[in-house]
Amino acid sequence: MKLLKREQVEKLSRFKCENFLTTSFYLDTDKSRLTRKEISLSAKNLIRNHLNRLEKLGLDKNVKESLKKDLEKISRLCSPNRAPFTFSGLAVFSCSGKNFWEIFELPDAPRNRVIFDLNPYVRPLSAIIDEHINGLILLLDRKKAEWFEFFMGEVEKIEEITSDVPGKIKEGGWEGYESKRIERHIDAQLQNFFKQVAQKTFSFYKNKKNEGLFLGMSDKYYSDFEPLVHPYIKERIKGRLKSYPGDSKEKVIRQAQELEKLIKEKEESRLVDNFITELERGGLAGSGLDNILERLNRGQVQTLMVTRYFSKPGKICSKCGFLYVNKEECPACKVKTEPLVDVIDEAVERAMESNCQVKHINPPSKLRRYGNIGALLRY
C-alpha cells in the first residue's frame, strides 16, 4: 500500500510478534538516480549480508527460521523480473512466524537497511511523513467551494458546496439605483457564502492540528475571504495555488506538489542560513564530521542537517556505540572500533533515536561548503 497517513504508521507500530522477531526492510528504489538493475543488486547484497549476519546472532531456532523466511520472501519480491519499482522507496515489514507481511510504497527514497527487532522499525516512515506538508486544499469562487485532502503529494476531494450567489449583473440592464441595490445584495450573499466556507474549513481542522492549508482562488476573492478566516486557520495558510473550483484533480495535484517543493526549498535554505549565521558568530552550531559525531555521541545535537544521499565510511565502538570518523580505538572504552560502510547513516539513526530533528537538505545548497553536514546544538 501507499504510505499516505500517520495512522498507517501508528497501526504498524502496534504490531507485536511475541515469540518471534520482525524484519523491517527499506530500499531506495528511486529510478531518477538508479537503474532497475542497480536497485535489484543492492537489494540482493543487503539481503545476503543480513542472512550472513543472522547466522552469527545467537538466536533461537524458530526465531531464526522465521527471519530467514522473511528475507527469502523479500528477496523474491525484489527480484529484477518481478519488481517494477514505480515509486521512490520500498518498505517491507515481515514476521513469517506470525504470518505478518506489509508492503509500503514510499514517495521518497529511504536509506537501505534491514532491522531485526521486536516491533516494526517505523522511524524512517515517520521521517518521510514529517518531510511533507500535509493538510487541506480549498478552491473557491463565488459559485463553489471544494476541499481536498493533501497528503504525501496525493490529493483526494473530501467535500464541496455550491452557493446560489448570482453572477455579476451586466452593465446597462438595470436602472442606476436598482443596479446598485442588487449589487449590494449580491455582495452580502457572497459574504455569507464565504463565511460559511470559512467556518467549514475551520471544522476540518478539529482533527488536523498542525497541518497546512493551500488556497486556490483569485486575488479578488482572496482579499474578500482572508479576513473572514479564524486566526487559527490563518496561521496554517502555507501558500496559494493557481487552481480554481472545477479544475481537474491532476492539475490540483501538480500545482500542490510544485508549491510544496517551493516551500520546502525555502525552509531548507532558511535552516542552512540560520546554521551558517550561528556558526559564524560562534553560537550553538557545529560543523565538521569529526566534531558533529562527537556532539552526537554526547547528545548535544538538536537539529542535524545532512545533504541528501551524502555518505561516508567511519567507525563505531561495539561497546558504547559511539561513532567516529577514523579512530582505531574508542577513547572512552579502550576497545578496537569496527568499520562502518556509512557513518552518516548511523549518525542520522542516532539523531532520530535521541529525538533530534533530522533535515535532509536537497543539493545544491550552501551546506556543501561546510562538508555536507551541520548541526544546531542544544547547549
Contact 225, 198 (CB under 8 A): yes
Q: How far is the CB of 326 from Zn ion (least distance, A)?
A: 15
Q: How far is the CB of 56 from Zn ion (least distance, A)?
A: 21
Distance, in Å, from the CA atom of 218 to the CA atom of 145, rounded to the nearest integer, reads 13
Indicate whether 333 belongs to the interface with Zn ion (CB under 5 A): yes
Indicate whether 319 belongs to the interface with Zn ion (CB under 5 A): yes
The stretch near Zn ion (CB under 5 A) out of 6-14, 36-44, 59-67, 327-335 is 327-335
Indicate whether 317 belongs to the interface with Zn ion (CB under 5 A): yes
Q: How far is the CB of 359 from Zn ion (least distance, A)?
A: 28
Q: How far is the CB of 294 from Zn ion (least distance, A)?
A: 13
Q: How far is the CB of 338 from Zn ion (least distance, A)?
A: 11
The stretch near Zn ion (CB under 5 A) out of 63-71, 95-103, 311-319, 345-353 is 311-319
Q: How far is the CB of 348 from Zn ion (least distance, A)?
A: 20
Q: How far is the CB of 291 from Zn ion (least distance, A)?
A: 18
For residues 188 and 320, which CB has a smaller minimum distance to Zn ion in the complex? 320
Indicate whether 320 belongs to the interface with Zn ion (CB under 5 A): yes
Of 77, 135, 129, 139, residue with least CA distance to 107: 129
Indicate whether 182 belongs to the interface with Zn ion (CB under 5 A): no
Of 123, 132, 91, residue with least CA distance to 109: 91
What strands, in cross-sheet order, belong to the sheet with 323-324?
323-324, 314-317, 337-340
Indicate whether 323 belongs to the interface with Zn ion (CB under 5 A): no
Task: Tell me how far apart the 2 most distant CA atoms of the chain are, in Å.
Answer: 95
The stretch near Zn ion (CB under 5 A) out of 246-254, 283-291, 302-310, 328-336 is 328-336
Whether the bond between 364 and the residue before it is cis, its omega within 30 degrees of 0, is yes
Q: How far is the CB of 289 from Zn ion (least distance, A)?
A: 18
Q: How far is the CB of 317 from Zn ion (least distance, A)?
A: 3
For residues 209 and 334, which CB has a smaller minimum distance to Zn ion in the complex? 334
The stretch near Zn ion (CB under 5 A) out of 58-66, 196-204, 215-223, 313-321 is 313-321
Going from the C-alpha of 125 to that of each of 12, 107, 115, 122, 326, the distances in angstroms are 10, 10, 14, 5, 31
Extract long-range pairs of 256-260: CB within 8 Å, 24+ residues apart: 256/137, 256/150, 256/153, 256/155, 256/214, 257/153, 259/214, 260/132, 260/133, 260/153
Grid cell locating 290: 569529526
Phi, psi of 372 (to 5 degrees): 65, 10
Distance, in Å, from the CA atom of 11 to the CA atom of 31, rounded to the nearest integer, reads 29
E strands in 224-326:
237-241, 285-287, 301-307, 314-317, 323-324
For residues 164 and 353, which CB has a smaller minimum distance to Zn ion in the complex? 353
Q: How far is the CB of 365 from Zn ion (least distance, A)?
A: 33
Which of residues 169, 262, 332, 341 is near Zn ion by CB under 5 A? 332
For residues 104 and 322, which CB has a smaller minimum distance to Zn ion in the complex? 322
Going from the C-alpha of 218 to that of each of 175, 222, 318, the distances in angstroms are 29, 6, 60
For residues 175 and 353, which CB has a smaller minimum distance to Zn ion in the complex? 353
For residues 92 and 343, which CB has a smaller minimum distance to Zn ion in the complex? 343
Task: Count the site residues for Zn ion by CB under 5 A.
Answer: 7
Beta bridge mates, 358: 304
The stretch near Zn ion (CB under 5 A) out of 162-170, 194-202, 237-245, 324-332 is 324-332
The stretch near Zn ion (CB under 5 A) out of 46-54, 244-252, 321-329, 361-369 is 321-329
| 3-state DSSP assignment of residue 232 | helix
Indicate whether 330 belongs to the interface with Zn ion (CB under 5 A): yes
Grid cell locating 66: 522465521
**Sequence-ordered list of residues with C-beta below 8 angstroms from that of 266, at least 6 positions apart, any chain:** none
The stretch near Zn ion (CB under 5 A) out of 95-103, 212-220, 279-287, 317-325 is 317-325
Grid cell locating 339: 568499520
Applying CB under 5 A, which residues contact Zn ion?
A: 317, 319-320, 322, 330, 332-333
